[in-house]
Amino acid sequence: MRNITVKSSLELTQSQKQTLEKGLKDRYGEDITIEYVIKDILGGLIITDGEKLLDLSMSKDLLKIKKEAERIINEMHAASSAGAQLEKELTPSDIPAFLKFNLGNIVTGNLDIDICGKVIDVADGIIRISGLSSCKYNELLLVNKDTYAIAMNLEKDRVGAMLLNNIDKVSFGDIVYATGKTAEVPVGQALLGRVVNPLGQPLDGIRTLFTEKFRKIESPAPSIVDREKVSRPLSTGILAIDSMVPIGKGQRELIIGDRQTGKTSIAIDTIINQKGKNTLCVYVAIGQRAGEVAKIIRVLKENDAFEYTCMVVSAADDAPSLQYLAPYTGCAIAEEFMYDGKDVLIVYDDLSKHAVAYRTISLLLKRPSGREAYPGDIFYIHSRLLERAAKLCKQKGGGSMTALPIIETLEGDISSYIPTNIISITDGQIYLERELFRSGVRPAVNVGLSVSRVGGAAQYPAIRKLSSKLRLTLAHYRELAVFSHFGSELDDNTKRILEQGEKIVEALKQPQYQPMSVLRQTLILYLIANQLISDVDKKHLGDFLTKFHHFYYSSYPAQAKELNSGRDLSDNAAATIEVACEQFKAYYLASLKKGGLP
Amino acid sequence: MKKNHVGIVEQIIGPVVDVRFEGYLPQIYEKLLCRAENGVVAFETQSHYNGLARCLALQANEGMSRGKEVEATGETLTAPVGTGVLGRVINALGEPIDNKGPIECSERWAIHRKAPPLTAQTAAFQMLETGIKAIDLLTPYPKGGKIGLFGGAGVGKTVLILELIRNIADSMGGYSIFTGVGERSREGNDILTDMEQADVLKNTALVFGQMNEPPGARMRAALCGLTLAEYFRDVKKQDVLLFIDNIYRYAQAGAEISALLGRMPSAVGYQPTLASELGLLQERITSTKDAAITSVQAVYVPADDITDPAPAAIFAHLDATTVLSRDVVEQGIYPAVNPLASSSKILQPSVVGQKHYETANKALQVLQRYKELQDIIAILGMEELSEEDKITVRRARKLQRFFSQPFFVANIYTQDSGRYVPVEDTVNGAQAILEGQVDHIPESMFYFAGDLDEIIERYEKNKE
């Protein structure tokens, strides 16, 4: 027994029905039932038995025309961007001519029968489909005309899939088409300065994306022998980080902390600091408030950082499946640049929401749960993603992808499940602490718990030399500060360590969106390392350091240029800083005495 | 040539695939092959389910569809064994992944094997010096024993394991097997290039099933590495060092697929077979009358929760455990050994000698007392303590700092060259601290030094 559905825009006449039934019976035998459905398909017919589909509708023809037109426009655009001279610009009046030229190919007499399935269950963005026997694991499916889904479970006689968009528009009996490919997104130069959703569709309201290149959103990470040691610095422009938890190109460094502790700011500052440094950036927003994303776009634009950045955005109201895909999409976009030999920085903001989205999907697919109700493979979905960031070896083009995943903790608990999972994947973490943030230490980096496993090898030699003891000095200071909290009789040694620690904390403070140059970092670190700031009062320290930087920059331009290169500090350079500091300090302290800041 | 049986894929749920064979059913652990979109994917039969073979993918199986043909190979997974694997890098399937051509070996062993019989086993009773102060004094490692390094994320397990490779692989002589299970590919590359540069690769075989690979590969990489070690022990009768980083990932990979295989979840979502899976692996890592396998296993502690079922199950198999803690990291002390949580079965006078034994016990007592006093200090301050307790606290803090030590493999973080401290110097140093011979030296001098002489020297120099 075969159930056949016939869709048309208008009720068919009796004679039309008879002709149709006769034709179908000739083909399938007598044992069929036919159901007629009226649906707006513009014209023509759609005939399906739930497994195969014959689409003879007008809307399908229009879709074909649209696709063909897009292809032609894309081709022309690619040709023009590749340097080929077009005889003239394509104007709207030319389009009919193009289409007419191609129309013959589009509308042919051939009957192309599609493989399809039928939706039998719909609930909470998860659908179950009968039919679709050739469906591949993780294949992209098309429901109706413009709804996408991804096949997650291939059961014996049905397919479980998650809807990516229009989750409230799918209903029982809808037709599902196999696309024959796993999910892929447009990639390449065209993505820079753009905002796209996890399917690669533009969200910024401007022209469509012109790109010929597509890349699968899931692809294997570079193998062990395709990699190379992390060896070049990726400057964040944030002194506390570049000195104590340095990041190298190809590293994965986690930014972790409670809400409102400046996690995103560090990532944004880092993107801004890549200006003119030949590093492209991808920012992935996962389940973020749209307002927040708009603010980030504005900040990037204001700082001229948007043109080398691509934003992949899934908002808080998007389906969990779309939020789940977002980081893989961003990763594919970044990967294309990496394999092209370029340096890329990718920010995942944030993976806690990603974990929650995946938990939602897993539970809806009835997969069993473990710790904190997360599914068993929650570690694997993150490790698979973050392992794709790497420094490639020369044979593979030498490109790099640096990843800055972000994780939000609750009440500073970094030892809960998802945070420790990610910590065990990344090459280090920057831990931001709310207590520090509130007491005005910004960026609120907890030095004791922050670490960079590989960045040290990638630091600028001068900075590495000057900051080698800084991290431990600060960690010891903090431990001692807690220990001697109640002590009234401190020995001189302890007092000295405490005083020095306070000064360092003060010197490392830095406002948002103001990345520091290598020169400025070197100067501050030099003064700290050689204890040249011990006679400057704590409350004037920030001001002193800023003004000293200006003074040095204008008084010793040649030396300043050398320091800015980050090369190892020569004795000569060190002596110059020392002299400059003495000069400036004498002047500064004298004018302070006279009252008023210099 | 006999034609292999061919089955048809009937169901795909993540890495678990059901295959229907007509008139044949592959044995449990039998290897199956399927030609998918991106090359051949290998599977291992896990169970029989309603007449179907339920299999586990050992490689990524995205893009696979129902109705595909799967070929039964009639054999289980095998690993190449012998001296041909030295200097090479292989994966869980025993295939080379270092682009250096095929591996020269006359034999391949099945990776699923039985543990040696009880009569062949021996117990280990000799100390293995590591040159690391905190370990040698408090948790001496037995030669031919099983050693666990426990720690949460980012407390320094891998750095410690690398330092151990550096310090003991040389002194032990013989061969080492490094098995990377579910850890970072970047670390795999680092280990490979470091070993190449230090010219120790020729005595080492590397096996990797890293965290970017599906759970099947991660589970089997551990067995594959172990099989290489067993061959040297049983056939070549040679002592072997087996490093596994990280054994927790083996248990975790089992948990990822357990539910998909149709098992009911056990505590915290782990597989019901957790203890037996670990037992099968751990019982094979043992020393026989012929030769010894000394194994060092890093154990990840999820969510810093040492009572988690997986680390708890691993504990029982080990002769010595070193626990690394986050609160020690926070004090800036590396290696972040938590002395009170670590232990060793050979910390006995008959093995390490009377002096070592007593010093270690005294150190533990002092540290324990300090821990008890910490709460009082936090509320009332140091001044409220008795004179005797004050001395205990000061010595305990000096001892804690004495246990910090610069590592050879960590000089990119510390810009300081590593120190190897012979166990005798460690014991003498700790004894001197406990007896109050260095009460006059401020505690900050104790950070990151070698033996006590270096600290005294530092103090003298500073005084000038």
SS3 content of chain B, % helix, strand, coil (to 5): 40, 25, 35
* Chain A nearest C-alpha distance from B98 (Å): 6
Interface contact A420-B97, CB threshold 8 A: no
* Interval A434-470: pLDDT, tens: 999 998 899 999 887 888 888 778 899 999 889 888 8
Out of B37, B99, B331, name the one closest to residue A225 (CB): B99
Of residues B65, B192, B212, nearest to A135 (C-beta): B65
What was the pLDDT predicted at A106? 53
On whether both A394 and A438 belong to a single domain, the answer is: yes
Which DSSP string do the residues of A122-191 spell out, in sequence order?
A: EETTEEEEEE-TTPBTTEEEEETTTEEEEEEEE-SSEEEEEE-S-TTT--TT-EEEEEEEE-EEE-SGGG
Helices A541-555 and A518-529, axial angle in degrees (round to 10): 120
Burial of residue A502 (number of CB atoms within 10 Å: 0-12, 13-18, 19+): middle
Are A428 and B154 within 8 A, CB to CB?
yes
pLDDT digits (tens, 9 = 90+) for B67-85: 899 999 999 999 999 999 9
Per-residue pLDDT tens over the stretch B43-65: 999 999 889 999 999 998 888 88
A76 lies in some domain: no
The verdict on whether omega for the bond into residue B102 sits within 30 degrees of 0, i.e. cis, is: no
Share of chain B above pLDDT 90, in %: 65
Which residue in this structure is represented by tokens 């590591």?
B130
Same domain, A321 and A455: yes
Q: Is the domain of A251 the same as that of A320?
A: yes
Q: Of B61, B76, B91, which one is at a domain's C-terminal end?
A: B76
User: What is the rounded CA–CA span in Å between residue A210 and residue A187?
Assistant: 10
Does B167 map to a domain? yes
Same domain, A359 and A496: no
Q: Which candidate from B269, B304, B326 shows the least CB-CB separation from A370?
A: B269
Contact B60 A139 (CB under 8 A): no
Locate B380 and state its tokens: 């009332």
* In a shared domain, residues B150 and B289: yes
Q: Are A589 and A544 spatial neighbours (Cβ–Cβ below 8 Å)?
A: no
Residue A544 within a domain: yes
Which residue among the candidates B20, B108, B113, B184 is catalytic per the annotation?
B184
The residue-averaged pLDDT of A340-360 equals: 96
Bridge partners (DSSP) listed for residue A50: none
In a shared domain, residues B308 and B296: yes
Highest-confidence segment of A93-97, A391-395, A570-574: A391-395
Run of H or E residues at A428: strand A428-432
- Look at chain A and count its residues: 598
Q: Is residue A471 part of a domain?
A: yes
Please tell me the distance in Å from A420's CA to the nearest CA on chain B: 5
Same domain for A311 and A351: yes
What whole-number distance in Å separates Cα of residue B440 and Cα of residue B265? 58
Residue of A390, A451, A475 lying closest to B154 (CB–CB): A451
Closest CB from A224, A371, A422 relative to B192: A224
What average pLDDT does this structure show over A415-432?
91
> For A101-110, B321-330, B428-437, which range has the lowest pLDDT when averaged over its residues?
A101-110
Assess whether A383 and A520 both reside in one domain.
no
In sequence order, what are the beta bridge partners of B179?
B207, B244
Residues whose CB is less than 8 angstroms from the CB of residue B452 and which lie 6 or more positions away in sequence, other chains included: B402, B425, B428, B429, B432, B433, B438
Coil/strand/helix, residue A265: helix
- Residue B222: predicted pLDDT: 95
Of B296, B312, B347, the residue that ends a domain is B347
Helices (H), A254-350: 263-273, 290-302, 320-339
Structure tokens at B340: 């009170």
Number of independent structural domains in chain B: 3
Closest among A1, A163, A224 to B178, alpha carbons compared: A224
Does position B191 have pLDDT exceeding 70, yes or no? yes
B305 — contact with chain A (CB < 8 Å)? yes
Q: Give the CA distances from residue B129 to residues A398, A488, B424, in Å, rounded to whole numbers and listed in that order.
A: 41, 44, 10
Cα–Cα distance for residue pair B289/B237, rounded to 1 Å: 9
Question: A392 to chain B: which residues are within 8 Å by CB?
Answer: none
Are both B336 and B361 inside the same structural domain?
Answer: no
Burial of B119 (0-12, 13-18, 19+ CB in 10 A): exposed
Enclosing domain of residue B27: 6-76
Please state, in angstroms and as integers, the Cα–Cα distance from residue B173 to each residue in A267, B169, B320, following that order: 47, 6, 21
Give the pair of three-digit tokens for residue A235. Answer: 């400057």
A229-A218-A215 Cα angle (round to 5): 95
Element (H, E) at B20: strand B16-20
Interface test with A, best of B54, B66, B400 (most A CBs within 10 A): B66
Alpha carbon of B161: minimum distance to chain A alpha carbons (Å) = 14
CATH number, domain of A582, equals 1.20.150.20
Mean pLDDT of chain B: 90
Interface membership of B89 toward A (CB under 8 Å): yes
**Is residue B64 located within the same domain as residue B179?**
no
Is some CB atom of chain B closer than 8 A to the CB atom of A462?
no
Residues A449, A470, single domain; the answer is: no
Classify the C-alpha dihedral A366-A371-A372-A376 as positive or negative. negative
Range with top average pLDDT, A103-112, B327-336, B361-370, B441-450: B361-370
If you count residue pairs, one on A and one on B, with CB atoms under 8 Å apart, how many are there?
A: 194
Closest chain B C-alpha to A394 CA, distance in angstroms: 14
Per mean pLDDT, which range of A77-81, A409-413, B248-252, B290-294 is the poorest?
A77-81
Residue B398 and residue B434 in one domain:
yes
Residues B148 and B198 in one domain: yes
Which one of B313, B347, B381 terminates a domain?
B347
Among B19, B89, B99, B189, which would you mutate to test the A interface (most chain A Cβ atoms within 10 Å of its Cβ)? B189
Residue of A328, A386, A424 to mutate, testing the B interface (most B Cβ within 10 Å of its Cβ): A424
pLDDT tens digits, one per residue of A163-178: 998 888 999 988 898 8
For the domain that residue B113 is a member of, what is the CATH number?
3.40.50.300
- pLDDT category of residue A109 using cuts at 50, 70 and 90: low
Asked if B71 contacts B57 with a C-beta cutoff of 8 angstroms, the reply is: no
Do B130 and B143 fall into the same domain? yes
Give the count of alpha carbons within 13 A of B116, CB side only. Answer: 19
Judge whether A575 lies within some domain.
yes
Domain that holds residue A575: 466-593
Alpha-carbon torsion A587, A589, A592, A593, what sign?
Answer: negative
Q: Is residue B271 situated within a structural domain?
A: yes
Chain A residue with the nearest C-alpha to that of B445: A493
Q: Is A138 on the interface with B (CB under 8 A)?
A: yes
Helices B423-435 and B452-463: crossing angle in degrees, nearest 10, is 60
What is the helix (H) or strand (E) element at residue A285, kind and residue range?
Answer: strand A279-288
> Encoding tokens for residue A240?
């506390």
- CA–CA separation, A338 and B178 (whole Å): 30
Quote the pLDDT of residue B1.
47
Q: Per mean pLDDT, which range of A354-363, A388-397, B412-421 is the poorest?
A: B412-421
As a whole number of angstroms, the distance between CA A163 and CA A178 comes to: 14
pLDDT bucket at A255, cuts 50 / 70 / 90:
very high
Amino acid, single-letter form, for residue A567: R
Rounded to the nearest angstrom, the minimum Cα separation between A369 and chain B is: 6
- Asked whether residue A408 falls in the same domain as residue A479, the answer is no
CA distance B271 to chain A (A): 10
pLDDT, position A19: 85
Q: How far is CA B400 from CA A155, B323, B333, in A?
A: 58, 14, 8
Q: Which of B50, B149, B212 has the highest number of chain A CBs within 10 A, making it the mutation to test binding with A?
A: B212
Total Cβ atoms within 10 A of residue A364? 17
Nearest residue in A to B65, CA atom: A136
Supply the DSSP string of B296-340, one letter for each residue.
Answer: EEEEE-GGG-TTSHHHHHHHTT-SEEEEE-HHHHHTT-SS-B-TT
Q: Which of A402, A436, A459 is the last residue of a domain?
A: A459
pLDDT at B82: 92
Taking an 8 Å cut-off on Cβ atoms, the answer to whether A421 and B302 are in contact is yes
Cα dihedral A117→A44→A65→A149 (10° resolution)? -20
Active-site residue, B461 included: no
Structural domain contains residue A327: yes
Classify B55 as helix, strand or coil.
strand
CB contact under 8 A, B382 and A486: yes
Q: How many domains does chain A have?
A: 2
The pair of structure tokens assigned to B171 is 């002194």
Chain B stretch 180-219, residues whose beta carbon is closer than 8 A to a beta carbon of chain A = 182, 184-186, 188-190, 192-193, 208, 210-212, 214-215
- From chain B residues 108-147, the ones with a CB under 8 A of any chain A CB are none
Q: Tell me which chain A residues have a C-beta less than 8 angstroms from the C-beta of B299.
A: none
Query: What is the C-alpha radius of gyration for chain B, rounded to an integer number of angstroms?
Result: 25
Residue A547, CA atoms < 13 Å, CB-side half-sphere: 14
B-chain CB neighbours of A479 within 8 Å are: 330-332
CA distance A349 to A270: 14
Report d(CA A392, CA A228) in Å as an integer. 6
Sort out which chain A residues have CB atoms less than 8 A from B259's CB and list them: 367-368, 376
A141 assigned to some structural domain = no
B1 is a domain residue? no
CB atoms inside a 10 Å sphere around CB A332: 24
Report d(CA B209, CA A546) in Å as an integer.
50
Is A387 a domain residue? yes
Task: Read off the CATH number of the domain in which B367 is found.
Answer: 1.10.1140.10
Indicate whether A292 and A310 sit together in one domain.
yes
Same domain? A422 vs A539: no
- Residues B317 and B366 both lie in one domain: no
One domain, residues A298 and A430? yes
CATH of the domain at A226: 3.40.50.300
The answer to whether B444 faces chain A, any CB pair under 8 Å, is yes
Cis peptide upstream of residue A350 (ω within 30 degrees of 0): yes
Same domain, A406 and A547: no
Question: Where among A459, A478, A505 does a domain terminate?
Answer: A459
Domain final residue, candidates A427, A459, A491: A459
In chain A, whose CA is at the least distance from the CA of B20?
A156
Measured distance CA(A473)–CA(A465) in Å, rounded:
14
Q: Do B282 and B268 share a domain, yes or no?
A: yes
Task: State the Cα–Cα distance between residues B382 and B393, nearest whole angstrom.
Answer: 9
Inter-chain CB proximity B67 and A230 less than 8 Å: no
Average pLDDT score over chain A:
87
- Per-residue model confidence as pLDDT tens digits over A263-294: 999 999 999 999 999 999 999 999 999 999 99
Among candidates B327, B279, B282, B331, which has minimal Cα distance to B306? Answer: B327
Residue of A455 and A340 predicted with greater confidence: A340
Given A434, A453, A496, A567, which residue is catalytic?
A: A453
Both tokens of B285, joined, read 């890592």
In this structure, is residue A69 part of a structural domain?
Answer: no
Q: pTM (2 decimals)?
A: 0.87
In a domain, B214, yes or no: yes
d(CA B51, CA B53): 7
Question: Which chain A residues contact residue B256 at CB under 8 A?
Answer: 376-377, 379-380
- Under 8 Å between Cβ of B18 and B55: yes
Q: Are residues B248 and B152 in the same domain?
A: yes
* Residue B12 with chain A: CB contacts under 8 Å: 137, 153-154
